[in-house]
A and B are shown apart, each in its own frame.
Chain A
Amino acid sequence: MSTNDQNTELYGILAEFKNPKALIDASEKVVEAGYDKFDTYAPFPIHGIDKAMNLPKSKLGWIVLGHGLLGFSGAIAMMYFMSVIDYPINISGKPFFNAPAWVPITFELTVLLSAFGAVFGMFFLNGLPRLNHPLFNVERFKKATDDGFFVCIEATDSKFQADLVRQLFEEAGATHIEEVYD
């Protein structure tokens, strides 16, 4: 695939590193140099990469909490409407609002909604699903899901200057550097 057509624009500069340790060290250097529109790519989550990349805490917990509360209150509201308001039935003389017997379903729906929040919230925060990504134009990037460790500094970063970025990657010990076009 040709990546140097006239009407393509620069997405960023991609550098490959030889192992997880090199990736962490490189990521620390990128943060030190003041870039913030960059990302690391690895076939598995690397221990300590969040600190090296200076990532803020994930917001996912709050999304899950919201969904969990919705499941909890939704379950009680549903059962209350159906068994107390809409069509109350006397079952063995038990109260219509039979709280102990409603515990299992309340619990299950809380878990169900929380799980939806966790999974779809994670996809949402990660911007998935997406059909394409500029990095998929790079043949070498196929290694990112196998045994390749990459850092990409994006051209939209306010400090982005191609030669400085290249120099930074070279100093950090990159084994391969190339430009990525969208």
Chain B
Amino acid sequence: MSKYEYIPEPALVKGNHSFSSITKLVTDVNLRPTPKPWYAAMLLANALLGVFLVAVAYLIWEGTGIWGLMNPVGWGWAIINFVWWVGIGHAGTLISAILFLFRQDWRTAINRFAEAMTIFAVICALMFPGIHVGRIWVIYWVFPIPNQMAMWPNFNSPLLWDVFAVSTYFTVSLLFWYVGLVPDFATLRDKAKDKVRQIAYGIASLGWTGSGRNWWNYEKAYMILAGLATPLVLSVHTIVSFDFAVSMIPGWHTTIFPPYFVAGAVFSGFAMVLTLMIICRKIYGMEDIMTDDHMEKMNIIILVTGSMVGFAYMMEFFIAWYSGVEYEKAIFMLRATGPYAWAYWIMMLCNVISPQVFWSKKLRRNVNFTFFISIVVNIGMWFERFVITVTSLANDYLPSSWDYFSPTIWDVLTYVGTFGIFFTFFLAFLRFLPMIAIAEIKAVMPQADPHNYDEETQEYHPHEVEVPKPQAERV
């Protein structure tokens, strides 16, 4: 026995699948009759959506005074929830664009799913800046379109950069998602037996034939979109962090914010993908495609980004001390020991301590445990935004104006209601769209590679991996 052992890359698709069995596995979910539990779940999601609509209607009627906002905390749950939801969205783009550029083929199992999550999370996020403005009927002032004052938006303001960043992000994510869906719509069109589906999926597929000349342009477009989405996703949370970092509030005005926000966004997003994936693969029986190997790889990303976030927390503290600025030092001491210390230590426990368990391979591959940690991480990331937003505002320069912020029931209902938006969309997605990128998953199966076929007989004949024998005298 040599001391080195060859461990081959795990197969991306488990089980003995052919191309057609993959098609059948994925499209069956869309083509078979709606299962009853789906209606129950949809009803629950719609009820939450109703809660959101009521909360927003009352907000528009009564004004932002129904929230817990006060002096000096003029930014409360709306910005926290906005940043939280946008952050969750980032995992989808990371999976679809950055992992694509790095040729990480395992992404194909989860990219459709994660991109859908991105789009719905960004919709939830966009609700908050949309509704928080008080006079919602003049929300169009954020766009550079003529208005009755003949004025234009202030292009020097990070809040306006945010309008452009998040709306661009939403549009590009949607386009990217749709481009990926076109060949799969064609598959559904050809598999559907009833007229309604044939026509609906037929229109959505734009008449896609799977032509080699079309695939050639298609792959080019996909590559360019991935190349565009990569700097875009990094820029979006950078600009979101500018909302804080460009101001002069202690605890906000730091240059570490952009990378720290991006790492936190990816961290929470992967946790959300895991939460959804673990439930869905169980319900829809997709364990052959979304395997435990995928879960393990995602847990490693959670471990890496969680450690980056933990490092950023320590660095913030160090720089506050090193800067010698009294207010900076004071705000960080207050965060850890002051009136919101409970929130600070929840954040530390959930974001810094909890992902460290994934150093253990056994726990990385434990489904129930991963599910638990994925929820913990998202709670932790919500508290991170709470700590940043509320502590800095509640305890700023003048101690005489300090006050303690508490949310009202309307803050809570609006936030809980956004889950109604998210799950309404998500359930509709699971029912009507292919939840796995069929064409992409086929392309990474070993049968798809022409090199895995015999030159003469054209029969499937995968290459044997040659494991070099270690040279005994040198080892």
Q: Are B165 and A101 interface neighbours, CB within 8 A?
A: no
* Nearest-Cβ distance from residue A83 to partner chain B, whole angstroms: 6
Q: Are A121 and B221 in contact (CB under 8 A)?
A: yes
Interface residues of A in 140-168 (CB under 8 A from B): 142-147
- Is B211 in contact with A39, judged by CB distance below 8 angstroms? yes
| Closest partner residue, chain A, to B449 (CB atom) | A47
The answer to whether B221 and A42 touch across the interface, beta carbons within 8 angstroms, is no
Please name the residue on chain B nearest to A117 by beta carbon. Answer: B224
CA distance A132 to B221 in the complex (A): 23
The answer, yes or no, to whether A70 is at the interface (CB within 8 Å) is no
> Is B212 within 8 A of A41, CB to CB?
yes
Number of residues from B at the complex interface, CB < 8 A? 71
- List the A side residues contacting B187 at CB < 8 Å: 43, 145-146
* Residues of chain A with a CB closer than 8 A to B212's CB: 27, 39-42, 46, 49-50, 53, 55
In angstroms, Cα B209 to Cα A181, docked, is 16
Interface size on A (CB < 8 Å)?
A: 71
Contacts of A116 in B (CB 8 A): 175
Q: For window 95-144 of chain B, which residues contact chain A by CB distance below 8 Å?
A: 144
Complex contact A144–B217 (CB within 8 A):
no
Known: A43-B187, A45-B218. A111 touches B155 (CB 8 A): no
Determine whether A8 belongs to the interface, using a CB cutoff of 8 Å to chain B.
no
Q: How distant is the Cα of A129 from the Cα of B186 in the complex, in angstroms?
A: 12
Partner of B183, one of A98, A105, A132, A145: A145
Pairwise interchain contact B440-A118, C-beta atoms closer than 8 A: no
Decide if B190 touches A145 in the complex (CB within 8 Å).
Answer: yes
Interface of A is mostly: helix
B206 part of interface (Cβ distance < 8 Å): yes
Closest chain A residue, CB of each to CB of B151 = A87
Partner of B220, one of A21, A41, A58, A132: A58
Q: Is B475 an interface residue (CB 8 A)?
A: no
Considering only residues 152-170 of chain B, those with a C-beta below 8 Å from chain A are 152-156, 158, 160-161, 164-165, 168
Q: Are B209 and A135 in contact (CB under 8 A)?
A: yes
Which of B7-15, B16-24, B363-371 interfaces with chain A?
B16-24
At the interface, yes or no: B253 with Cβ under 8 Å from chain A?
no
- Partner pick for A41 among B168, B209, B239, B452, CB 8 A cutoff: B209
Among B154, B215, B452, B458, contact of A49 (Cβ-Cβ < 8 Å)? B215
Give Cα A167 to B244, complex, Å.
Answer: 71
- What would 12 A/B residue contacts be, using CB atoms closer than 8 Å? A22-B458, A39-B213, A47-B449, A47-B451, A50-B216, A60-B221, A104-B235, A115-B225, A118-B228, A128-B214, A132-B207, A143-B190
User: Given A19-B447, A143-B190, A146-B190, 18 more contacts at CB 8 Å?
Assistant: A39-B211, A42-B212, A43-B210, A44-B215, A46-B443, A55-B213, A60-B220, A82-B152, A92-B156, A98-B156, A105-B164, A112-B172, A119-B175, A119-B178, A128-B182, A128-B207, A145-B190, A145-B208
6 closest A-B pairs by CB = A21-B453, A122-B221, A147-B19, A129-B206, A40-B212, A82-B152
Chain A residues close to B by CB (< 8 Å): 18-22, 24-25, 27, 39-50, 53, 55, 58, 60-61, 64, 78-79, 82-83, 86-87, 89, 91-92, 94, 98, 101-102, 104-105, 107-109, 111-112, 114-116, 118-119, 121-123, 125-126, 128-133, 135-136, 142-147, 173
